[in-house]
Amino acid sequence: MLTRIQNYHFDWKLGLFTLLLFPALLRLGFWQLEREQEKLTLQSLYESRQSAETVSLSSLNEDSDLQYVPVRFRGNFDNEHSFLLDNKIYAGQVGFEVLTPFYTNAGELVIVNRGWIAQNEYREILPQIDDLAGEVELQGSVYVPLGAQFMLGLEEASNSWPWVIQSLDISNMITTLNADLNHFPYSVRLGAFQPGVYVRNWPVISTSPEKHRGYAVQWFSMAAVLLLLYLFTSTKAEMITTKNEDINEEVKRG
């Protein structure tokens, strides 16, 4: 009589590999789910605040959560000292974001992000930035950077304006300007149809929540496959021949 039995063979190398990789795959999956929730929360915050009433910039409490708060302010652009935030892509074309200092009538300096402008054919020739003379009233929304900023290169030393920068660091920009006035700690992105605005190319989220969920499913699937492979390779089916008498004897002894 043929009998099929299942033997377990422990391979410490395979076991150690599974022990290390399996939890890591699970952590990556749960991390992607957390990222999905963060994106959903950020999108909801943006939509709710864009529909809120515009408030005066000078009335804001800088210690509160100001992300995407719609603001208004009046004053004058500093046309002589604009910054160009490098390595910004729009519609497949390389360009800059134009950030111009703005002096409000309330005596505060704020960095205004006017949007995207294309890079010239020759990089060393910087784009011409339009001047805006006279007092203007602006509306926009506060932008608070989320975590560390990605930089494609080191900060380049500039000796003329506009000043090319690699990251949006308000403190460094104020130092470069040698400004003694009180300054707003974040930049303000101009709203649509505002004086001096260029291309408004500021997606709220770079990766959709659905993609993060899809990535999570992939990590969890890999974890499941790894566990199944471990179980499959650690067990071996064997066919052995036994006699009925032997079986009966074993039963009696049992």
Tens digit of pLDDT for each residue in 101-121? Answer: 999 999 999 999 999 999 998
Q: What is the pLDDT of residues 191-217, one digit of tens each?
A: 999 999 999 998 877 667 788 889 999
pLDDT for res 129? 94
Q: Is residue 235 part of a domain?
A: yes
Same domain, 99 and 141: yes
94 lies in the same domain as 185: yes
Same domain, 169 and 112: yes
pLDDT at 2 over 50: no
- Residue 123 inside a domain? The answer is yes
What's residue 200's pLDDT? Answer: 95
- Answer whether residue 48 is part of any domain: no
Domain-embedded: residue 165: yes
Kindly report whether the global pTM for this prediction surpasses the value 0.85.
no
Q: Which of 190, 218, 236 marks a domain boundary? A: 190
Percentage, residues of the chain above pLDDT 90: 53
Instruction: Identify whether residues 34 and 108 lie together within a single domain.
Output: no
Q: Are residues 80 and 120 in the same domain?
A: yes
> What whole-number percentage of the chain has pLDDT above 70?
83
| Position 70 in a domain | yes
Q: In this structure, is residue 252 part of a structural domain?
A: no
> What is the Cα–Cα distance from 190 to 138, expressed in whole angstroms?
7
Q: What is the pLDDT averaged over residues 122-133? A: 90
**Co-location of 186 and 216 in the same domain:** no
Please check whether residues 109 and 177 belong to one and the same domain. Answer: yes
Q: What is the pLDDT of residues 45-86, one digit of tens each?
A: 778 777 788 999 999 998 888 999 999 999 999 999 999 999
The answer to whether residues 115 and 181 belong to one domain is: yes
- Angstrom distance (rounded) from CA 188 to CA 77: 13
| pLDDT at residue 108 in the model | 94
Buried b (16+ CB within 10 A) or exposed e, 150-181: eeeeeeeeeeebbbbbbbbebeebbebbeeee
The answer to whether residue 243 scores a pLDDT higher than 60 is no
Give me the number of domains the chain comprises: 2
Task: Round the average pLDDT of the chain to a whole number and report it.
Answer: 84
The domain in which residue 232 lies consists of 2-38+209-247
Structural domain includes residue 237: yes
In a domain, 242, yes or no: yes
How far apart, in whole angstroms, are the C-alpha atoms of residue 229 and residue 27? 19
pLDDT of 171-190, one tens digit each?
A: 999 999 987 779 999 999 99
Please indicate, yes or no, whether residues 82 and 177 belong to a single structural domain of this protein: yes
